[in-house]
């Protein structure tokens, strides 16, 4: 019954006008801002500490972040509508020649694509479906606690060439895909368990960084490519990307290589957050997991 309700709402949303969904997303973000005081206070406090802003400045950034993330959530409804017309009308690529060069480099290589809960991240799967040259593509996600809702979201996120796989027990599937020269995409900015983490500086404080994408990239000798989709306004986006890191060229022992790769994608996320702080997911408890030496003091 609940899944049928979700399917009905999803179908209705997919037929709504794009501008209406963006308007509703803004309203959803403002509703969460007003209703969930604990997350509002967490976001403001964290922005003050990590970016050095005063309370008024931090409140402005945090409120806009809630609005942006409300829009991001409802953009799930449009994941399957990302086609070449969508790209032409809504997505700006500042350096198409540079992008073409990177995609050409990826043609015969496995690739770990890394991104963050930043901008319009839900739409990136559609762009990978269109642009990435690999035949086999994956997006690794964490499922929601509501399995009925998750099944609906998973269907909306899927594309003909993009497989959605769950974070738990994903490693064998990802490694097999990379060994076949495929592309696997990860969100790398969320908190993780201590046993999954390497602790690295992020916005001025050590954070638990998921080492899984780095380990899999090294085992497959893959490229690691940071990609982000910035929201320019409610209906237009800008594709931001950096040059990929070639893990096959790294020097040092296994531990040094892992730290190098994890630091590479952590710093890429930090650069985006510092440039466009209102587009990141500040309500998340990013620094929750702490190093063991901090717990013993």
Instruction: State pLDDT tens for residues 183-208.
Output: 999 999 999 999 999 999 999 999 99
pLDDT of residue 234: 85
Is the pLDDT confidence value at 5 over 80? Answer: no
Q: Are 134 and 106 in contact (CB under 8 A)?
A: yes
pLDDT of residue 279: 97
Domain ranges for the chain, please list them. Answer: 2-285
pLDDT of residue 190: 94
Burial 3-25 (b: 16+ CB within 10 A, else e): eeebeeebeebeeeebeebbebb
pLDDT of residue 19: 85
Q: How far is CA 230 from CA 22, 51, 219, 294, in A?
A: 15, 20, 31, 35
| 6-13: average pLDDT | 59
Is the pLDDT confidence value at 14 over 70? Answer: no
Identify the H or E element spanning 187.
strand 183-187
Please calculate the CA angle 60-230-54 and round it to the nearest 5 degrees: 20
Which position has the higher pLDDT, 289 or 1?
289
Structure tokens at 110: 């496995």
Direct distance between the N- and C-terminal alpha carbons of the chain, in angstroms, rounded to an integer: 50
Mean pLDDT of the chain: 91
Instruction: State pLDDT tens for residues 226-259.
Output: 999 999 998 899 999 999 999 999 999 999 999 9
E strands, 142-215, are: 162-166, 183-187, 197-202, 205-210
| CB atoms inside a 10 Å sphere around CB 127 | 20
Poorest-confidence range of 155-159, 230-234, 236-240, 272-276? 155-159
pLDDT of residue 37: 97
Number of separate helices (H) and strands (E) present in the chain: 12, 10
| 213-225: average pLDDT | 97
Q: Are 53 and 61 in contact (CB under 8 A)?
A: yes
Is the pLDDT confidence value at 150 over 80? Answer: no
Which position has the higher pLDDT, 68 or 5?
68
């Amino acid at each position: 019954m609940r899944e049928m309700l979700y399917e009905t709402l999803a179908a209705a949303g997919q037929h709504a006008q794009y501008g209406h969904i963006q308007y509703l997303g803004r309203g959803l973000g403002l509703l969460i801002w007003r209703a969930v005081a604990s997350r509002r206070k967490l976001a403001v406090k964290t922005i003050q500490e990590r970016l050095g802003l005063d309370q008024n400045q931090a409140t402005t950034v945090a409120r806009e972040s809630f609005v942006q993330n409300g829009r991001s959530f409802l953009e799930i409804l449009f994941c399957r509508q990302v086609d070449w017309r969508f790209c032409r009308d809504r997505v700006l690529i500042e350096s198409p020649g540079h992008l073409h060069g990177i995609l050409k480099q990826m043609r015969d290589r496995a690739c770990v694509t890394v991104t963050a809960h930043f901008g319009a991240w839900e739409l990136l799967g559609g762009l990978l479906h269109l642009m990435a040259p690999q035949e086999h593509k994956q997006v690794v996600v964490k499922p929601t606690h509501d399995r009925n809702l998750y099944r609906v979201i998973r269907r909306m996120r899927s594309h003909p060439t993009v497989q959605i796989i769950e974070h738990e027990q994903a490693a064998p599937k990802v490694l097999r895909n990379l060994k076949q020269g495929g592309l696997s995409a990860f969100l790398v900015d969320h908190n993780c368990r201590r046993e999954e983490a390497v602790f690295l500086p992020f916005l001025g404080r050590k954070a638990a960084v998921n080492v899984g994408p780095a380990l899999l990239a090294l085992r497959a000798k893959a490229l690691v490519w940071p990609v982000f989709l910035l929201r320019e306004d409610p209906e237009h986006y800008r594709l931001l990307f950096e040059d990929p890191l070639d893990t096959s060229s790294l020097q040092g022992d296994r531990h040094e290589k892992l730290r190098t790769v994890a630091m590479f994608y952590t710093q890429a996320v930090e650069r985006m957050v510092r440039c466009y702080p209102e587009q990141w997911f500040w309500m998340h408890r990013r620094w929750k997991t702490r190093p063991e030496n901090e717990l013993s003091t």
